Amino acid sequence: MNPEVLTAKKWYRWLWLSPLLTIPSVVFLIFNEPGYELICRRNCDYALAFLVTGLIAILGSALWHLVLLAPALNKQSEFVRWHGRQALLLAGVRTAVPVAFLIYDFVEGGYGESVLWSIPVLIAVWLFGTLWGQGQAARGDCALMRWTGHGAGLPLPTSTAKPVSAPRLGPLTHERLEYRTAYYQGLSLREQGKSAEAVRVFHRLLVSDATPELKARVAEELKQIGDTDENLTADVLVATFRFSHEPEQRRMALAGLERLGLVEPL
């Protein structure tokens, strides 16, 4: 599976498990009654004290979700970074639901009766919200990226080939998203037997401003496909000659440039 997709999907496990920490934290803070310590030093307003206690408990327990700042600030993958933000958004919804019920209860003059109705809502948000986010990550998609206008390269391919040159060239963690997406698209087309379409994708990458590491990997993929078309354009031939590590492939590119009259024969 695409490593970015796999990483983004794994971070949703925290949303599945976080109630094991947030619920005990809420109970602990409520029983310590911090609101009464703050409000009831002189003339006690019990309703206000209950509201403050509830807010401290809910917001304090929500701090466990700051763990999701790790993917949200990920510098290596835009896809992981946006899914971290989307997971934080879901955590924020979980926090906002009981806060809204608590404030409504205070306005209506109650002492927590309405807050109980937030429990089924929270269960629904926990279950369906987490399934939704994790499912999107698994598909290589991200709603938050699309909503904010950053989803041009989505969805990412969810499976990749294993090119021979991958271990030597390392992961594509520092490559721009659009070029990573195009590279994985080319691999996917190759796996589907659409070699001609894959070659066109790889040729576009060769003449782009992608990193030399990615272009070297693309050249290796073209060698594996058997890209021996004599009608290659000059820019593709130059890029192949510059970035390929294979002597035979470089000779083929040089021969093509000679046929075009762009270099003098040695």
Q: pTM, whole model, 2 decimals?
A: 0.60
In single-letter form, the type of residue at position 201 comes to: V
Tokens of 204: 């576009």
Q: How far apart are CA 52 and CA 44, in angstroms?
A: 12
216-245, pLDDT tens digit by residue?
A: 888 888 877 775 555 577 777 777 777 777
Residue 44 and residue 117 share a domain: yes
Cβ-based burial of 47 (10 A; exposed 0-12, middle 13-18, buried ≥19): middle
Integer Cα distance of 227 and 213 in angstroms: 19
pLDDT at 51 over 50: yes
Q: What are 162's two structure tokens? A: 């294993």
Report, as an integer, the average pLDDT of 176-193.
Answer: 80
Contact 15, 133 (CB under 8 A): yes
How confident is the model over 160-169, as a mean pLDDT? 43
Q: Of 92, 115, 147, which closes a domain?
A: 147
Structural domains counted in the chain: 2
pLDDT tier at 20, thresholds 50, 70, 90: very high
Q: Give the domain extent around 16.
A: 3-147
Do residues 18 and 65 lie in contact, with contact meaning Cβ atoms separated by under 8 Å?
yes
Query: Is there a contact between 253 and 241 (Cβ–Cβ < 8 Å)?
Result: yes
Say whether both 124 and 173 belong to one domain. no
Our measurement of the distance from residue 23's CA atom to the centroid of its chain's CA atoms, rounded to an integer in Å, reads 27
Confidence band for 92, pLDDT divided at 50, 70 and 90 = very high
Q: What's the count of helices (H) and strands (E) in the chain, helices before strands?
A: 16, 0
Nearest to 159 by CA among 29, 4, 15: 4
Say if 129 falls within a structural domain.
Answer: yes
pLDDT of residue 172: 60
Q: Do residues 121 and 186 both lie within one domain?
A: no
Could you tell me if 56 and 125 lie in one domain? yes
For residue 155, tell me if it sits in a domain.
no
